[in-house]
Amino acid sequence: MASSSTSDAKQIKVLVRCRPILEHERSHSTDSIYLEKESGLIRLNTRQGNTKEFTFDNVFDGASTQELVYEKGEFSRTVEAVVKGFNSTVFAYGQTGTGKTFTMEGKQDIQKRKEGAGEGPSKSSDVGVIPRIIHELFDRAKKKHGDEVKFSCSFVQIYMEQSYDLLQADMGRLRSARNNRPSSSRKPALSSRLKLRWCKEKEFYLENMSVFDCETPDDMLHRFARGVGNRKIASHRLNMQSSRSHSIFMVNVDMPSEAAPGDRIKSSLMLVDLAGSERVGHTGSNSKKELLRESVFINQSLFALRKVITNLASKRRHVHIPFRDSTLTSLLKNSLGGNAFTTMVACLTPSDTFYEENLCTLEYASRASSIVNQMTVREDPKTKLIRELKQRVKVLEAELVRYKSGLVPAAVTAGHSANALPQQPVVASTPAAASVPSSSATDYEEMAVETQNVNEALMVENADLREQLRFIQAIVTMEDGEGGAEASSSKKDLHTVETAILMELFELRRENEAMRETIQRLEFGSTSHKRHQGGTRRMKKQTSHGKVGRSSQKKGMLTVEQLRSMFSVGGSSNNVMDSLGTSMRVTTTGNILDAGSYEEEDDESARPANVEANGMDPVEQLSELLAERSALMEGNTR
């Protein structure tokens, strides 16, 4: 079976849009930006005569229509990527009032449109990227997959590092409608706070975020309009301005896989309108304590975003990417330097009063355009593992046939392919096409050195994580000292971050351990291979566990239990918490439960990938083949 896990390296696409000068700005500012649409040149001018030049793929001036931005900005490619199964992101970045919301949502007051039969969202020329993308996505996905494709959406906003569900109020509304409660009680709940969680499969995600199925583009746009309305109400209740929060509209597409008939693939599209950055001085007389606090949070998360962009764009190797520094960067982890097809829309104001802000936006846009994402189709982990195991079984069957016919000398593969299973899945479409890996002493040495390099990189990341952990612990200790309700709530958040980091730390340690074992196996394989060839060269690097590893590895054999534990998802996470001795437990999906609410996992869910639909267990099948092969090898050497 062909692999459906395709991947493609793509740079982040950056568009720059400068809005027209607004009526109220004419009296105190002049147009300070020169744009050349054809060449993509942007020149910033100041009254003092300073100039700075940048070049981008696409630049749009104040006269550019929404339609032109959508077409020339190639948002159809975003749609195409989502329909192919790649995650995608579009995010608007820029100073307050530069037209981010105008570009993403459009000019019309979208939340004022009524829900109801026949009254679909406006398709006027003023609509922004989000409504256009949704229409095109439904069109193209339905054309390709018919009724087999399913859509759903969620809508969240991040305000002062807290995430709020903008569609949870709809659930409240539905419930109260069902209970025939008066319409006055159908108000959006502010209990819509969401917790940021982490698990290995999904990485960062928002727990209990509401997800709504949508049959048509208008269904989805009504949800979107509802969320925009709720954002306004929530803004009012929280005494904030909507523009001072980040909003993320998430579209999920679930469709049949073309590469693996019978399987399904899922892709998601994140449409992000970021809060505007601004200098505190520009908030004028309004810059009271609360506004200042808001600004600190906005700038903090935008600072984290800029740091992530800077580090990702850095040419230095093994540089730490601080995704965990804010809720926003945690949620955008896959969009920046991850596996998504990402478009950044950098928004500018033409007013020369904001030269510094425009310059800052263009500098980050320029850095972002050099970031490369490795796009991958998201495949169900169980399906992926079963597919890989099936491929492995085919390879081993072919190998066995060759052994039986005496074509391959046993020593050639001693200690190699069996042990390489988790690290090096071999892809072969048919048994005939499967070839026995040819190995030489040099191959082994190169692999060992390469593995050692990866190991070292992981150790550096470990050290970074430890450093962060110490920093967080120091803050928690400080908060302990300060006390107060506010302190305890932020302390709780820090504990969540801390737990996420501890979990990742454990995973990294586990990976380190696995790497070390691989090196030992490679050394063992190489030494036995060289002994067989009568070679005298020794491996360059030895690990401290070398001897134990060798004696415990009998001809590179793995038991069924060892294989299971290597592929078990849930077990390891619980071990993390046990070994850390914390009062929390982690379920197979990574949800963190209090000790009191801990639930035992059933065996089935703890063994997600071991049993196929036909009842065969690929792991056992594999183990039997390995045992048979080993016996044959022994026979051959004798």
CB of 69 to ligand ATP, least distance (A): 8
Two tokens, residue 134: 């949704």
Kind and range of the H or E run holding 525: helix 485-533
CB-wise, 358 or 468, nearer to ligand ATP? Answer: 358
Residue type, 30: T
Dihedral sign, Cα of residue 436, residue 442, residue 443, residue 444 = positive
E runs forming strands in 139-214: 150-159, 162-165, 193-199, 203-207, 212-214
Least Å distance between CB 241 and ligand ATP?
7
Structural contact between residues 129 and 70, judged by C-beta atoms closer than 8 angstroms:
yes
Query: Which CB sits closer to ligand ATP, 101 or 391?
Result: 101
95 is in an annotated binding site: yes
Q: Is 99 annotated as a binding residue?
A: yes
In the complex, the smallest distance separating the C-beta of residue 96 from ligand ATP, rounded to whole angstroms, is 4
Contact 87, 268 (CB under 8 A): yes
- Asked if residue 97 belongs to a known ligand binding site, the reply is yes
Please name every residue paired with 197 in a beta bridge, in sequence order, or none if there are none.
205
51-55 and 162-165: which strand pairing?
A: unpaired
Cα 158 vs. chain centroid, distance in angstroms?
A: 17
The gap between the terminal CA atoms of the chain, to the nearest Å, is 37
Residue 166 or residue 347: which is nearer to ligand ATP going by CB? Answer: 347
Residues 6 or more apart whose CB falls under 8 angstroms from that of 227 comprise 155, 166, 167, 247, 249
Nearer to ligand ATP, 85 or 99 (CB): 99
Element (H, E) at 514: helix 485-533
The SS3 of residue 504 is helix
Is 96 annotated as belonging to a binding site? yes
Nearer to ligand ATP, 274 or 447 (CB): 274
CB of 270 to ligand ATP, least distance (A): 17
CB 257 within 8 A of CB 4: yes
Residue with Cβ nearer ligand ATP (104 or 395): 104
53-77 core/surface letters (b: 16 or more CB in 10 A; e: else): ebebebbbbbebebeebbeebebee
Q: Which residues bind ligand ATP (CB under 6 A)?
A: 19-20, 22, 94, 96-102, 107, 243, 276, 347
Strand partners, 127: 106
Side chain identity, residue 75: F
**Closer residue to ligand ATP (CB): 241 or 543:** 241
Least CB distance from residue 475 to ligand ATP, whole Å?
Answer: 29
Structural Rg of the chain based on CA atoms: 28
Least separation, in Å, of the C-beta of 107 and ligand ATP?
A: 6
- The residues facing 156 across adjacent strands are 165, 248
Residue 93 Cβ, how far from ligand ATP at the closest point, in Å? Answer: 9
> Where do the DSSP E strands lie in 212-303?
212-214, 246-256, 264-273
Q: How far is the CB of 544 from ligand ATP (least distance, A)?
A: 55
Write down the least CB distance from residue 95 to ligand ATP, Å.
7
276 in a known ligand binding site: no
Cα angle for residues 342, 343, 348 (degrees, 5° grid): 145
Nearer to ligand ATP, 160 or 494 (CB): 160
Q: Pick the closer one to ligand ATP by CB: 276 or 337.
A: 276
Annotated binding-site positions for ATP? 94-101
